[in-house]
Amino acid sequence: MRDLIEIQQKLLPDLVEVLRKRYMLLQSIYHLQPIGRRALSQVTMTTERILRGEVELLKEMGLLLFTTAGMSVSEEGQRVLERMEPMVAELFGLTDLAAQLQTHLRIPEVIVVQGDADRNEWVKQELGRVGARVLKQRIQEGDVVAVTGGSSIASLADHLTPSPAFRTVQFVPARGGLGEKVELQANTLASVMAAKTGGSYHLLHVPDRLSTDALQALLEEPGVREVIDLLRTSRIVVHGIGDALVMAQRRKYSPQELDELRAVGAVSEAFGYYFNDSGEIVHRMPTIGLQLEDVQNAEVVLSIAGGASKAKAIHSFAKQQAYHNVLITDEGAARALLAQIDPKGASV
């Protein structure tokens, strides 16, 4: 069954969403029958007119009865409700997960894709594809987009397509080089995004780890200064969320430094900030790039992270930065996250 839905959704992206709405509408009518349009439109949080279209369709299909007392569910409609019941959890699982995350993390928008990035490589692709779609939706003329590195963001970059709206967009790396694979670095990704979309990009030619002295010196450099200033005006921030210790190791932290991180309870990492369970900053890399206050000034923060192993990191980061945030994650991370928030209610 999963197969059918999955395939259909490729051709009809909002199929499940519409199905869910119709099902819930039918269910609402069933529980409140007989009920009128006006009352029902308040319950279902829709306008009268739009609800009308829906109920007329359901009536056409013989699932509803219209009487002077109001609408009620026909026998056929009841049969549909009964037969759908066992499928509901599976069908709407992801939507449901997203809604739960939205509530618990207080994030305006959450999208959950199927699978677990830890288990299937293609889930990263899916995250990227969805992320690219969201970015394309949110982009505006003349936007400055700050991007970090990482495989999720790389996948997003890969799925971007040219569009006239992107012509005036500038992609700016949020960080310097991370000293690892070049195809996952912020600098590279900014240029890839620009190439894919037809936008322009800037580079931040600084190493990620710096001594305080070198940092000060570099900040004086005009070429660096310019990019930093631009970075601060970012309307959109696109970033991944990393596991604190994993990121620290990639950044070649010494064993002592790692111990310190562990000691302060660092869990997640994003743009060089390390957060603990509660979302508090417990460590900050002395480096050049996007600062947390700049992120908070951004109008759109696109966070991408998948895989059950990222659950803790996502949770702690979400506590820090929930406002104006769009979280794109996967089923694995979502379930793990909910299980850790509410261990008893984590079934489905």
Q: Provide the binding-site residues for a copy of itself, judged by CB under 8 A.
A: 1, 3-8, 10-15, 18-19, 22-23, 26, 57-63, 66, 76, 80, 83-84, 87, 129, 133, 159, 161
Which of 71, 80, 237, 313 lies at the binding interface for DNA (CB under 7 A)?
A: 71
CA–CA gap between residue 179 and residue 234 (Å, rounded): 24
* Partner touching 348 among DNA, a copy of itself, none, CB below 5 to 8 Å by kind: none
Q: 186-197 and 151-158 helices cross at what angle (nearest 10)?
A: 10
12: exposed, middle or buried (Cβ count in 10 Å: 0-12, 13-18, 19+): exposed
* Partner touching 36 among a copy of itself, DNA, none, CB below 5 to 8 Å by kind: DNA
Which of 162, 179, 223, 345 lies at the binding interface for DNA (CB under 7 A)?
A: 162
Which of 7, 24, 39, 281 lies at the binding interface for DNA (CB under 7 A)?
A: 39
| Nearer Cβ to DNA (168/309) | 168
In the chain, how many H helices and how many E strands? 15, 13
Nearest of 117, 161, 63, 143 to residue 328 by alpha carbon: 117
Which of 6, 17, 48, 183 lies at the binding interface for DNA (CB under 7 A)?
A: 48
CA angle 204, 264, 341 (to 5 degrees): 95
* Partner touching 281 among DNA, a copy of itself, none, CB below 5 to 8 Å by kind: none
| Nearer Cβ to DNA (63/186) | 63
* HSE (side-chain half, CA atoms, 13 Å) at 104: 19
3-state secondary structure of 177: strand
Window contacting DNA (CB under 7 A); options: 29-37, 79-87, 211-219, 266-274: 29-37
| Nearer Cβ to DNA (29/298) | 29
3-state secondary structure of 113: strand
Q: CA 215: distance to chain centroid? A: 32
Residues contributing to the site for DNA (CB under 7 A) = 34-39, 47-50, 52-53, 56, 59, 66-71, 161-165
